[in-house]
Structure 1
Amino acid sequence: MINVLKHSEPMASHCSLRAGGMAQDLFMPESIQTLAQFLQSNTKPVLLLGLGSNLLVRDSGFDGVVIKLTQLKSLHISQTHITAEAGVTLAKLSRFAQEKNLYGAEFLSAIPGTIGGALAMNAGAFGSEFWQFVKCVNTMNTSGEVFQRQPADFDIGYRQATPTHSHEFFISAELVFNQKPSNQNIQQLLQKRNNTQPIGLPSCGSVFKNPAKHYAAELIEKSQLKGFCIGGACVSNKHANFIINHQHASAADIENLILHIQQTVKSNFDIDLETELKII
């Protein structure tokens, strides 16, 4: 592994929606140590990135350095505790836990993202959420200093983990899983996901959070928006809470479609849809 530093890098290449403007710089550190060294001398605004499966960078791009953490991917186990760096994919963590006869991580196999992203948004699926397995985390600030934080240091809720300390990002987590077998099966969960979601097409997963007592997909479908397109961006015909980059959509196409969905659902049901997707 080597550190990678690129200039004028299209974010469409690094986000699962396959859209977005240029980043001034892109840095891919090979280790936490080299990341700390880089930040100690960096003066530009910073944007953290994993697999980019929950991110849209506007067409105007990002005037700073995007730090992509996918090379930070070490996994260690000690009894029931797994320590994972921020760039480890959730699918890899799920398989690793299964191989070590630890249970509870099965749901992660169906979420396209990394540990860092799962921590930042309290990723969840099939009735489970990521932070229910977190013992502690390591964070780094934009000056390259490392801290250990506890779950109590965050306001953790549905699709959010808001830190009480600002300007820090996740670099690793210590996770505790169960020794008692669960009733969830990775293959069955993946099959369920493949049957209900437009897998293999450029999307960001669920675009909107589910409002209280409602499902976003149902509200969008009842608004007759399945298959509706703006430019190259379309609401999936398979799952209405997915937007597909159907034909070289711009970030503006996607953002305009999001806005149209929000306005339509608001006028039909008087419900405000909040995005899971982060727009930069």
Structure 2
Amino acid sequence: MEKVMIYDELKKIIPDSSRVRVGENLSSYTFTKTGGVADVLVLPENYEEICGILNFAGVNGLPVTVLGKGSNVIIRDGGIRGIVINLLRLNAIRLEGHTVVAQCGAAIIDVSRFALQHHLTGLEFACGIPGSVGGALFMNAGAYGGETAQVLDHALAADASGRLLKLDREALDMGYRHSAISENGYIALEGAFALAPGSYDAIKKEMDHLTYLRELKQPLEHPSCGSVFKRPPGHFAGKLIQDSGLQGTRIGGVEVSTKHAGFMVNIDHGSATDYINLIHLVQKTVKEKFGVSLDTEVRIIGEDKNGQRI
């Protein structure tokens, strides 16, 4: 189906033309500031619109890609075919007793701050995670000894056909950087975080401490995709990369951070291809030196400039 036809059909679902965009450059939607264009980008504002988009795409065999805050994703330089759904306009956060319910586009940092304002403990670990609630549910995001699975009571998601699903803790099947949402290709719509009453001062003190550690150790002064690699069993990815002498190694405008070896930073107009080539170099070097395979935590999506998924 031609882009113009896709646009016209999507306008029937989302009448506001400013929320249906053809040929949108995606570099402004990612933390790395890289990536090509989307055939058609849509910015839904409610679940009905999302389900309508999914149903339309399914009937017409169109691929769908979902973006949240783009904090742990690399979009290849050739962009993304089909429909890209950006979820950031679904960002409401509400309180139900001691449970905080947040829509997929809300920043998980904002959810942790909302919990603080209501004297609720359990989400302190998330105060420095730069992604969205949807991303946190998709990959069971975690930091500093905490992870989403520890406090998530249930989630609302949509399957590829646009059917709404309520998933309880068991159905979510959350593990290390894994969930049933990612496994089954669902779209996370909202999460319910079961928290406990706590002391505002104690919660804030812990969040301030974790924020201090993050600012001390992570290269926040440059665009990056966050932690690039998953933690290999028995090792730490950053330590392996550091011990391989790779800090400061650069391809194009992207460099292995000299502040934290587990990060790659865009220091001079780097491209997605620079990121991907540097990832491959790091994987190859660590494998040769230590016999350890590094699997990416960052999602690499889209096509290269030749239209290939590499």
TM-score category (smaller protein): over 0.9
Cα deviation digits, residues 33-83 of structure 1 (max 9, x gap): 222223332332111111000111111211111101001011111111111
After superposition, where does 1:65-80 map in structure 2 within 5 Å? 65-80=83-98
Q: Which residue of 2 aligns with 1:29?
A: 44
1:11 to 7, 13, 26: 26
Matched, 1:58 2:112: no
Question: Alignment partner of 2:268: what SS?
Answer: coil
Q: Distance in 1 between matches of 2:195 and 2:224?
A: 30
Matched, 1:154 2:175: no
Q: Which residue of 2 aligns with 1:99?
A: 117
The root-mean-square deviation of aligned C-alpha atoms, in Å, is 1.7
Which one-letter code corresponds to 1:235 in the other structure? V
Q: Which residue of 2 aligns with 1:83?
A: 101
Q: In terms of mean alpha carbon deviation, does 163-172 or 64-73 score higher?
A: 163-172
Q: Which residue of 2 aligns with 1:200?
A: 221
TM-score with structure 2 length normalisation? 0.86
**For the Cα contact (< 8 Å) 2:92–2:102, is it kept in 1?**
yes
When residues 17 and 247 of structure 1 are mapped into structure 2, their CA distance, relative to the original with a 3 A threshold, is: same
TM-score with structure 1 length normalisation? 0.95
Q: Residue 218 of structure 1: CA displacement?
A: 0.6
Matched, 1:185 2:203: no
The alignment-based identity, stated in percent, is: 37
Q: Which residue of 2 aligns with 1:246?
A: 267
Q: Distance in 2 between matches of 1:196 and 1:166?
A: 34
**For the Cα contact (< 8 Å) 1:208–1:241, is it kept in 2?**
yes
Q: Residue 164 of structure 1: CA displacement?
A: 9.1
Q: In terms of mean alpha carbon deviation, does 206-215 or 254-263 score higher?
A: 206-215
Q: In terms of mean alpha carbon deviation, does 172-181 or 214-223 score higher?
A: 172-181
Q: Residue 200 of structure 1: CA displacement?
A: 3.1
Q: Distance in 1 between matches of 2:269 and 2:183?
A: 39
When residues 176 and 169 of structure 1 are mapped into structure 2, their CA distance, relative to the original with a 3 A threshold, is: same
**For the Cα contact (< 8 Å) 2:138–2:182, is it kept in 1?**
no
**For the Cα contact (< 8 Å) 1:236–1:242, is it kept in 2?**
yes
Q: Which residue of 2 aligns with 1:258?
A: 279
1:212 to 229, 233, 254: 233
Uncovered stretches (5+) of structure 1, i.e. residues with no partner? none
Q: Distance in 2 between matches of 1:261 and 1:38?
A: 39
When residues 212 and 164 of structure 1 are mapped into structure 2, their CA distance, relative to the original with a 3 A threshold, is: closer
When residues 24 and 254 of structure 1 are mapped into structure 2, their CA distance, relative to the original with a 3 A threshold, is: same
Question: Alignment partner of 1:185: what SS?
Answer: helix
Question: Alignment partner of 2:184: what SS?
Answer: coil
Q: Which residue of 1 aligns with 2:254?
A: 233
**For the Cα contact (< 8 Å) 2:70–2:131, is it kept in 1?**
yes
Question: Alignment partner of 1:260: what SS?
Answer: helix
Count residues with an aligned counterpart. 280
**For the Cα contact (< 8 Å) 1:49–1:67, is it kept in 2?**
yes
Q: Residue 142 of structure 1: CA displacement?
A: 2.6
Kindly indicate which of the two structures has a greater share of residues assigned to helix: 2
Which one-letter code corresponds to 1:224 in the other structure? G
Q: Residue 165 of structure 1: CA displacement?
A: 7.4
Q: Distance in 2 between matches of 1:13 and 1:163?
A: 26
Q: Which residue of 2 aligns with 1:275?
A: 296
**For the Cα contact (< 8 Å) 1:154–1:164, is it kept in 2?**
no
Uncovered stretches (5+) of structure 2, i.e. residues with no partner? 1-15, 302-310
